[in-house]
């Protein structure tokens, strides 16, 4: 069959073009597909809902612009949920660019909810040192965090004086794209100091976190853009997560189609031999 022979030599640029169309078209013509809610995402939401007003949540944005498309929508949705519930936010990042991305989201949403810097939220910026830094942070917050991201002493803020050790934190939420990231928080922060950990990871990292979800070391998980879209649905906010799911749906279908076609060609080639 000539068709299969031609397809087996298909120019990769044709595949690239189809992928580009599968991404762009649903952005121009939204399908508004409904998003189902999975248990790991619901657990994050319920955890935030269960915290009393005024509790301090530490958000760690441990990613860079490469993972921004997947993790930034989740960051915004989670911050919005925290502010709605009148929780206090401590923002930091184990990756240099991550703390900047977190800062953008935090300032944007703080303005909407009229939250004050130093009282309702604080940004302590990029913290190098990975695992060792987390161990120190848990033991004595004050020794590790003396100034915020602009160099202002944290003790000069009401919220800065509130957190002295890991035990003053009600929850840690890490938006993680690799190392250092979610695993360090689970191993060095939860195991040692018992602080509940929730996470958001890229889709490719999500399967790695299931052993920790099963063991209870991780309370809940937002996996990739789908996790962000689910969280946006729960907090009733139509953001980039939900908008991106239309494109992701079509691209996934396209990939499944490519896999099927590739295997049909394989079968055909085998029979010919």
142 touches another protein by CB under 8 A: no
Residue of 226, 231, 235, 239 interacting with another protein (CB under 8 A): 226
194 touches another protein by CB under 8 A: no
Q: Which of residues 12-41 bind another protein (CB under 8 A)?
A: 12, 15-16, 18-20, 23, 33-36, 38-39
Task: Give the nearer residue to another protein in terms of CB position, either 51 or 187.
Answer: 187
Task: Give the nearer residue to another protein in terms of CB position, either 39 or 161.
Answer: 39
130 touches another protein by CB under 8 A: yes
Stretch of 53-61, 113-121, 143-151, 154-162 lying at the interface with another protein (CB under 8 A): 143-151
259 touches another protein by CB under 8 A: yes
140-154 burial string, b = 16+ CB within 10 Å, else e?
A: ebeebbeebbeeeeb
Considering CB under 8 A, how many residues would be counted as binding another protein?
67
- The minimum distance between CB 87 and another protein, in angstroms, equals 24
Q: What is the 3-state secondary structure (H, E, C) of the chain?
A: CHHHHHHHCCCHHHHHHHHHHHHHHHHHCCCCCCCCCCHHHHHHHHHHHHCCCCCEEEEEEECCHHHHHHHHHHHHHHHHHHHHCCCEEEEEECCHHHHHHHHHHHHHHHHHCCCCECCCEEEEEECCCHHHHHHHHHHCHHHHCCECCCCCEHHHCHHHHHCCCHHHCCEEEEEECCCCCHHHHHHHHHHHHCCCEEEEECCCCHHHHHHHHHHCCCCEEEEHHHHHHHHHHHCCCCCHHHHHHHHHHHHHHHHHHHHHHHHHHHHHHHHHC
Binding characters for another protein, 154-193, by CB under 8 A (x = yes): ----------------------------------------
206 touches another protein by CB under 8 A: yes
Interface with another protein (CB under 8 A): 10, 12, 15-16, 18-20, 23, 33-36, 38-39, 64-69, 96-97, 100-101, 104, 125, 127-130, 132-133, 135-136, 139-140, 143-144, 149-150, 203, 206-208, 210-211, 213-214, 223-224, 226, 245-246, 248-249, 251-256, 258-259, 261-263, 266
């Amino acid at each position: 069959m000539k068709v299969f022979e031609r397809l087996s030599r298909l120019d990769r640029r044709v595949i690239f073009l189809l992928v580009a169309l599968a991404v762009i078209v649903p952005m121009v013509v939204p399908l508004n597909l409904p998003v189902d809610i999975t248990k790991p995402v619901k657990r994050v939401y319920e955890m935030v809902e269960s915290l009393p007003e005024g509790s301090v949540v530490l958000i760690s944005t441990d990613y860079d612009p490469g993972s921004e498309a997947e993790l930034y929508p989740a960051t915004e949705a989670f911050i919005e949920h925290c502010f709605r519930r009148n929780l206090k936010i401590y923002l930091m990042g184990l990756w240099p660019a991550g703390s900047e991305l977190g800062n953008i989201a935090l300032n944007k949403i703080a303005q909407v909810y009229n939250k004050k810097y130093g009282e309702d939220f604080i940004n302590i910026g990029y913290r190098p040192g990975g695992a060792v830094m987390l161990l120190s942070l848990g033991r004595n917050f004050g020794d590790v965090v003396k100034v915020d991201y602009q160099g202002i002493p944290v003790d000069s803020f009401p919220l800065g004086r509130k957190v002295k050790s890991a035990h003053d934190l009600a929850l840690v939420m890490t938006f993680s794209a690799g190392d250092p990231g979610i695993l360090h928080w689970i191993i060095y922060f939860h195991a040692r100091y018992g602080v509940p950990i929730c996470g958001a990871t890229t889709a490719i990292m999500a399967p790695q976190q299931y052993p920790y979800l099963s063991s209870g070391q991780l309370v809940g998980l937002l996996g990739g853009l789908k996790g962000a879209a689910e969280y946006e649905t729960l907090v009733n906010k139509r953001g980039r997560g939900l908008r991106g799911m239309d494109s992701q749906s079509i691209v996934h279908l396209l990939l499944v189609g490519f896999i099927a076609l590739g295997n049909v060609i394989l079968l055909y080639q085998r029979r010919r031999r």
